[in-house]
Amino acid sequence: MKKILLLIASLSLYSCSAISEKVTEIAEKENKYLSGFLNASTVTLINNFGTPTKTASENNQIIYVYEVKGRLINCQRKFTINDKNTVTGFSSTCWD
């Protein structure tokens, strides 16, 4: 009985570790992809992602918010836009 419990516990730990590694891998790919939009125009952003889900203003910059709902994971991407309509930063948050 103890061996079975130990086996189950080991498999659970391995599963958590594998999932964590996969999430880290996806986050790195997402950041690399979104980095390609730095210094791009808002036209490029809209051509790739469509109309923002919402916009906000913060510290004299405009924030474009895109909410992406997937089958398993939902994400929110935020892009900061300067007064020249250029992307100056981004953040991406995903959850299940």
pLDDT at 92 over 50: yes
Q: What number is the average pLDDT over the span 64-87?
A: 89
Q: Which of these, 94, 96, 90, lies nearest to 33 by C-alpha position?
A: 90
Task: Please tell me the CATH code under which domain 2-95 is placed.
Answer: 3.30.1450
Dihedral-angle region of residue 87 (phi above 0 means left; psi in -120 to 50 means alpha; beta otherwise): beta
Q: What is the pLDDT at residue 18?
A: 61
Please give the model's pTM, rounded to 2 decimal places.
0.73
Q: What are 20-74's pLDDT values in tens digits?
A: 677 677 778 888 999 999 999 999 999 999 999 999 998 889 999 999 887 677 8
pLDDT for position 43: 96
